[in-house]
């Protein structure tokens, strides 16, 4: 038998939601990072799960590699970033803004 000492059990989708739900406020992760933390490179698969059940988790804490939030949700996400104090780079005056991944990228195990 293998070990399942730290696996929340469930399929890929369950694990994605569990991980995203663990992201603390003011922090963010990229689709690729979420997939990598799960041991996979399916950034698209993560997005598919978010589109399905992203409404159950802080979806705005998951962005693309460039620092832009999901397509069509930029306005909603910006409101959350301002509300949680997420570091956003200048130019947040329009839909061309982007989050400062260098500071907001969450590192599991480094939760204060």
Output the six-digit token pair for 37: 């933390």
Q: Which is nearer to DNA, 39 or 112 (CB)?
A: 39
Instruction: Tell me if 70 contacts DNA by CB under 7 A.
Output: yes
CA distance 28 to 7: 22
Output the six-digit token pair for 70: 């999901």
Q: Which is nearer to DNA, 71 or 112 (CB)?
A: 71
Residue 57 CB contacts under 8 Å (≥ 6 apart), including other chains: 17, 20, 21, 50
SS3 category, 17? helix
Instruction: Tell me if 37 contacts DNA by CB under 7 A.
Output: no
Q: Which is nearer to DNA, 67 or 112 (CB)?
A: 67
Residues that bind DNA (CB under 7 A): 11-13, 30-32, 35, 40-52, 54-55, 59, 64-66, 69-71, 73, 96
């Amino acid at each position: 038998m293998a070990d399942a000492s730290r696996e929340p059990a469930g399929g890929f989708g369950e694990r994605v939601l569990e991980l995203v739900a663990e992201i603390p406020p003011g922090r963010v992760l990229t689709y690729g990072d979420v997939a990598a933390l799960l041991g996979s490179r399916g950034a698209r698969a993560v997005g598919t799960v978010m589109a399905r059940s992203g409404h159950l988790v802080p979806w705005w804490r998951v962005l693309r590699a460039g620092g832009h939030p999901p397509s069509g949700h930029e306005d909603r996400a910006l409101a959350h970033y301002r509300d949680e104090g997420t570091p956003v780079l200048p130019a947040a005056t329009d839909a061309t803004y982007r989050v400062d991944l260098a500071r907001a990228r969450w590192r599991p195990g480094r939760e204060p």
